[in-house]
Amino acid sequence: MDRRRFLQGMGGTAIVSVTGCVTLLDGDDDYDIGMTASAYTPDQFTIEVGDTVVWENTSTRAHTVTAYGSRIPEDAAFFATGDFSNTQDARDAWAEDGSGGIDNSEQFSHTFEVPGEFPYVCIPHEQGGMIGEILVEE
Ligand SMILES: [Cu+2]
């Protein structure tokens, strides 16, 4: 059975065990979540505490990965492309000069140290439904 096809058949949720994230970032095609013009692929992704998720912009337009700060676990670290410290700062920066996004083939990674649900959004395409969620299991 084709493993990728099998995983997609499971509703787009894949279990990944990532170690050595620095090495992972060196590879061209090594990422967990890609991006189309208006969506994360997959838009739901399940990992375990301590795993690192790598996003790659596999589309030709700029996108952000911006945590919904008010909806992630209270003791969890905020994450966002552009290295902002909260969602509003990321929104303001994008509105002001389009900063904080990643372009084609650029990657962003975050290590999740707290279990729970982590919804995130692409700021410029929020209205288009470009929203994703990382589920971090114990
Ligand atoms: Cu986008």
- Residues 95-111: pLDDT tens digits? 999 999 999 999 999 99
**Cα(24) to centroid of ligand 1, in Å?**
23
Which residues in the chain come in under a pLDDT of 70?
1-29
The beta-carbon contacts of 117-120 under 8 Å, at least 24 apart in sequence, are: 117/71, 117/72, 117/73, 118/67, 118/72, 118/73, 118/76, 118/79, 119/67, 119/68, 119/71, 119/72, 120/65, 120/66, 120/67, 120/68, 120/79
**Cα(130) to centroid of ligand 1, in Å?**
6
**Cα(97) to centroid of ligand 1, in Å?**
15
> What domains does the chain contain, in order, with CATH numbers?
3-137 (2.60.40.420)
* Beta bridge partner(s), residue 119: 133
**Cα(1) to centroid of ligand 1, in Å?**
33
- Residues 111-121: pLDDT tens digits? 999 999 999 99
**Cα(122) to centroid of ligand 1, in Å?**
5
- pTM equals 0.79
